[in-house]
Amino acid sequence: MARITAGVACSHVPALGAAMDNGRTQEPYWHNCFAGFEWTRAWEAAQKPDVVILVYNDHATAFDMDFIPTFAIGCGERYKSADEGWGPRPVPDVIGDPDLAWHIAQSCILDEFDMTMVSRMDVDHGLTVPLSLMFGQPDVWPCRVVPLAVNVVTYPPPSGNRCYALGEAIARAVASYPEDLNVQIWGTGGMSHQLQGPRAGLINAEWDNRFLDDLVNDPQRLRHIPHIEYLRETGSEGIEMVMWLIMRGALGKDVRALHRHYHVPASNTAVGHIVLEPVG
């Protein structure tokens, strides 16, 4: 039987990927930010997940105003790193797990979550930067990836409550998959940031840290944070944090935090990172 053994959350700032790709992570601006991911890289090397369900958002790369799926699951064999204007990031192709992905799609849809199935797409920084942060710079990624793209770019994104409930449905889907697999689920994006307009550069460390606290202590509070609070308190792109609630919902009632990191700033963004293990 497949098992969800851990949840990981992290920001996906494109400049973090560029700093790794260009060998600049030890420069003064970046050093402390990257230091907070070293623990996780060693832990991941020991955990050896077979598959990561990687909850992320596409930034008008694979999807644009022509198609706006709320929840899109990648059912393809492989995905290329997207060209976001500077050429594709020099990272390995992402290898999918079509059997598991179709199983999750079927289970979630019969569980009344209407997923969009995607067989072909390129993946942008939303997916590749978290892989780089957790796995470093290998020639091939050490596990298969089931991409789960969430619309947080065009209003209306899904509610935090809906995201949490989808996580619970994903947990049921994984638990009913017959193959013996070590599965992790990652929630990515955030934390507070606003990239445009008069409030560009907004960071709210107090709000972000309460969110990190309550991922462990009071996830029921987080489910009911309205969109307007994310917008007001965490900037226009802070809504990416609803994706962390899919990860959290998949872990069950109680979790233990194994590692936590918060760093400001990276580009315009507060970088948050937490590693959670289900308890019981």
DSSP characters over the chain: --EEEEEEEE---HHHHHHHHTT-TTSHHHHHHHHTTHHHHHHHHHH--SEEEEEE---SSS--TT---SEEEE-SSEEPBPB-SS-B-S-PPEE--HHHHHHHHHHHHHTT--PEEESS--B-HHHHHHHHHHH-S-SS-SSEEEEEEE--SSSPPPPHHHHHHHHHHHHHHHHT--S--EEEEEEE--SSB--SSTTTT---HHHHHHHHHHHHH-HHHHHT--HHHHHHHH-TTGGGGHHHHHHHHTT-S-EEEEEEEEEEEETTEEEEEEEEEE--
Q: By C-beta, is 19 or 143 nearer to ligand DHB?
A: 19
Return residues touching ligand DHB (CB under 6 A): 12-15, 59, 189, 193, 195, 237, 267-269
Active site residue 193: yes
For the bound state, the minimum distance from the C-beta of residue 48 to ligand DHB, rounded and expressed in Å, comes to: 28
For the bound state, the minimum distance from the C-beta of residue 61 to ligand DHB, rounded and expressed in Å, comes to: 10
Of 12, 193, 261, 273, catalytic: 193
Q: By C-beta, is 14 or 219 nearer to ligand DHB?
A: 14
Of 103, 125, 261, 273, catalytic: 125
Q: By C-beta, is 129 or 275 nearer to ligand DHB?
A: 129
Q: By C-beta, is 74 or 190 nearer to ligand DHB?
A: 190
Active site residue 12: no
Nearest position to ligand DHB, beta carbon: 267
For the bound state, the minimum distance from the C-beta of residue 56 to ligand DHB, rounded and expressed in Å, comes to: 10
For the bound state, the minimum distance from the C-beta of residue 268 to ligand DHB, rounded and expressed in Å, comes to: 4
Q: Which positions are annotated as active-site residues?
A: 125, 193
